[in-house]
Amino acid sequence: MLVLGIETSCDETAASVVEADGPGPVGHVRSNVVRAQLREHERFGGVVPELAARAHLEHIDAIVAKAMAESGVGFADLDAVAATGGPGLIGGVIVGTMTAKAIALAHDKPFVAVNHLEGHALTVRLVEPVTFPFLLLLVSGGHCQLLAVDGVGSYTRLGTTIDDAVGECFDKTAKLLDLGFPGGPAVERAARAGDPRRFDLPRPLWRKPGCDFSFSGLKTAVRLVAATLVAGDATGIADLAASFQRTVGDVLVDRCANAFDLFRHRVGNGDGGTVTMVVAGGVAANLHLRERLSGLAEARNGRLVAPPVALCTDNAAMIAWAGLERFRLGMVDGLDFAPRPRWPLDEKARAAIGRSGVGAGVKV
Ligand code: KG4
Ligand code: ZN
């Protein structure tokens, strides 16, 4: 089974063809083309929605053509065409869904609208035989959520951020420390040379019950400490980056520990059987955080599974794979599907609060 996926919900224009090897998890990526819009947004220090939409429009046809050529298959060989239908910056989502619908119509293939977050959630099953249910920590530029994943399209939110997303916090920290954009990888690089114990930063909601997160106090504390550093103090910058990253690790571990207990209780796994926790989204590319979460999972008689780093940040293989998983369960969409700027994974839960600053409110 072959599916073409298209991703345009933020600042990556991406297309990919994936193939399923059998009826369950694990497939392979035949092509995965990503064009990151770095130049377009760099001088603004964040994604500017209108510029993003125009860049998607300019590049989408060439990116799809490249993904098809590299996949070695033609449109006629596809079983379905998938695109991110939301949540995200609406101009970009319109470009991606219109392109996918046009291809689907021209080649008489079904169209599948994929929730971008479901793309992150299911990516792990493209590469590893992870079965349902699993515990998911979804950490990206617009999200920080803990979810129980019971199946394709079946999510229960256990906790979410009450203010900022963790990726946004990395991006803000990078900006304050003048480390460049995108911020997450820059903070991780700077932190390697730093002392993670030098600055004692606040850990919001630390040791409180529940699985919600809060990062705004940490963000403010980083700003206040950064203001005390003199310009060009490379050691101070590295120490602050490392202290910040360690603090984020402390917070994620604390919240995930509660989620482990809640999840075990939910699935009736009181005997302490192994729980699989998956970490996904752009921030899951961070190796320090992976290590910390892996330690927690082991301590709780669980295991941590994370997709390869290249599949953590936005790409279209995750959309193609989620589209494939939906398609084979008969979950297809009409060509009248309306792109959604907001689209919670767990529709029963109240809407989360989005990120602030440039590109505010995306992916909620
Ligand atoms: O999933 P993603 O590519 O886009 C969204 O759906 O938001 O996530 C992007 C976020 C950005 O905030 C970026 O700074 C963060 O993921 N990120 C990282 C790392 N790589 C990307 N954060 C921490 N460490 C990283 N290595
Ligand atoms: Zn994403």
The span from the CA of 337 to the CA of 84, in Å, is: 11
Report the residue count for the chain.
364
The span from the CA of 18 to the CA of 13, in Å, is: 17
pLDDT computed for residue 41 by the predictor: 83
314 contact partners, CB below 8 Å, separation of at least 6:
7, 9, 10, 11, 12, 14, 34, 116, 282
Q: Among candidates 111, 66, 102, which has minimal Cα distance to 84?
A: 111
Q: Is 183 in the pocket of ligand 1 (CB under 6 A)?
A: yes
Alpha-carbon separation of residue 292 from 121, 141, 287 (angstroms): 20, 20, 9
Mean pLDDT (whole number) for 32-39 = 91
For residue 357, the one-letter residue type is G
pLDDT 10s digits, 301-325: 899 999 999 999 999 999 999 999 9
Mean pLDDT of the chain: 93
For the cut 50, the answer to whether the pLDDT of residue 362 exceeds it is no
The span from the CA of 320 to the CA of 207, in Å, is: 39
Alpha-carbon separation of residue 102 from 60, 99, 108, 247 (angstroms): 12, 5, 10, 47
Q: How far is the CA of 74 from the centre of ligand 1 (A)?
A: 32
The span from the CA of 153 to the CA of 296, in Å, is: 27
For residue 244, the one-letter residue type is F
pLDDT 10s digits, 242-271: 999 999 999 999 999 999 999 998 888 766
Mean pLDDT (whole number) for 181-201 = 95
The span from the CA of 229 to the CA of 98, in Å, is: 49
For the cut 80, the answer to whether the pLDDT of residue 355 exceeds it is no
257 contact partners, CB below 8 Å, separation of at least 6:
296, 300
Q: What is the dihedral of CA 162, 258, 155, 19, to 10 degrees?
A: 110
The span from the CA of 51 to the CA of 37, in Å, is: 9
The CATH classification of domain 131-310, taken from the options 3.40.30.10, 3.90.110.10, 3.40.50.300, 3.30.420.40 = 3.30.420.40
For the cut 80, the answer to whether the pLDDT of residue 354 exceeds it is no
Q: Is 286 in the pocket of ligand 1 (CB under 6 A)?
A: yes
What number of other Cβ atoms are within 10 A of residue 286's Cβ? 28
For residue 287, the one-letter residue type is L
The span from the CA of 178 to the CA of 299, in Å, is: 37
The span from the CA of 96 to the CA of 209, in Å, is: 40
Enter the tokens of residue 233: 């103090």
For the cut 70, the answer to whether the pLDDT of residue 75 exceeds it is yes
The span from the CA of 23 to the CA of 21, in Å, is: 7
The reply to whether 2-125+313-343 and 131-310 are identical in fold is yes
Q: Is 363 in the pocket of ligand 1 (CB under 6 A)?
A: yes
The span from the CA of 353 to the CA of 304, in Å, is: 27
The span from the CA of 73 to the CA of 69, in Å, is: 7
Q: Is 359 in the pocket of ligand 1 (CB under 6 A)?
A: no
Cis peptide before 182 (omega within 30 of 0): yes
> In sequence order, what are the beta bridge partners of 145?
138, 160
Residue written as token pair 């369950």: 24
pLDDT 10s digits, 16-31: 999 998 888 899 999 9
Q: Is 160 in the pocket of ligand 1 (CB under 6 A)?
A: no
pLDDT computed for residue 46 by the predictor: 77
Among 117, 140, 173, which is best to mutate for testing ligand 1, by the most ligand atoms less than 8 A from CB?
A: 140
pLDDT computed for residue 358 by the predictor: 35
Closest-CA residue, ligand 1 atom 10, reads: 141
Mean pLDDT (whole number) for 122-151 = 96
The span from the CA of 337 to the CA of 168, in Å, is: 30
The span from the CA of 46 to the CA of 42, in Å, is: 7
Q: Among candidates 333, 254, 319, which has minimal Cα distance to 292?
A: 254
For residue 102, the one-letter residue type is A
pLDDT band at 356 (very low <50, low <70, confident <90, very high): very low
Q: How far is the CA of 140 from the centre of ligand 2 (A)?
A: 6
Give domain limits for the chain: 2-125+313-343, 131-310
**Ligand closest in space to the Cα of 285:** 1
For the cut 70, the answer to whether the pLDDT of residue 194 exceeds it is yes
Enter the tokens of residue 29: 């990526």
What is the distance in angstroms between the CA of the first residue and the CA of the last residue of the chain? 31
pLDDT computed for residue 55 by the predictor: 95
pLDDT band at 341 (very low <50, low <70, confident <90, very high): very high
pLDDT 10s digits, 97-117: 999 999 999 999 999 999 999
Q: Is 244 in the pocket of ligand 1 (CB under 6 A)?
A: no
Helix axes 183-191, 234-266, angle to 10 degrees: 110
- Assigned fold of 2-125+313-343: Nucleotidyltransferase; domain 5 (3.30.420)
The span from the CA of 256 to the CA of 237, in Å, is: 28
**What is the number of the ligand 1 atom nearest to the C-alpha of 88?**
6
pLDDT computed for residue 181 by the predictor: 76
